[in-house]
Amino acid sequence: MKKQFELKTDRRDQMIDVTNEIEAFIRENEVDEGMIVISSLHTTAGITVNENADPDVKTDMLMRLDELYPWDHPEDRHAEGNTASHLKTSTVGHAQTLILSGGKLELGTWQGVYFCEFDGPRRRKFLVKIIT
């Protein structure tokens, strides 16, 4: 079972909680046990699992990634000018593999799944594949 999701981002750097959409897909397919892979289809956007209770975590993560990979580094050579977004995606990762149990994602109390935009705003896609 596989589904492609689409979303529109509205900022250059942004973390969007997609946990509910993924869990709805699991319910639609009535899967109780297995694995799930969530994969970004872009080189400048990633997928991560992180805290979904305090919005300041997202703010801090994006701020620190900007500190590590400044947008306008004078030595970047990539013609499109978005080297920072490629580095952020490589750091965060383009995909996550999670466990399904009892028809739900096995996430900790404060965890959520995030689509991470690093070169927006854009229309974006990510895939979710359930493996039973």
The pLDDT score that the predictor gives to residue 72 is 82
Q: Mean pLDDT, consecutive 10-residue segments, the chain of 132 residues?
A: 98 97 97 97 98 95 95 76 91 98 96 98 98 96
Closest CA to 84 of 40, 46, 113: 46
pLDDT tens, residue by residue, 101-113: 999 999 999 999 9
What total of structural domains would you count in the chain?
A: 1
**CATH number for the domain harbouring residue 52:** 2.60.120.460
What CA–CA distance (Å, rounded) separates 87 from 67? 12
Is the bond preceding 121 in cis, omega lying within 30 degrees of 0?
yes
pLDDT digits (tens, 9 = 90+) for 80-90: 778 999 999 99
25 Cβ contact partners less than 8 Å away, ≥ 6 residues apart: 1, 3, 128, 130
CA distance linking residue 91 with residue 106, whole number of Å:
23
Question: Residue 78's domain spans which residues?
Answer: 2-131
Is this prediction's pTM over 0.85?
yes
Token pair, residue 20, equals 């509910």
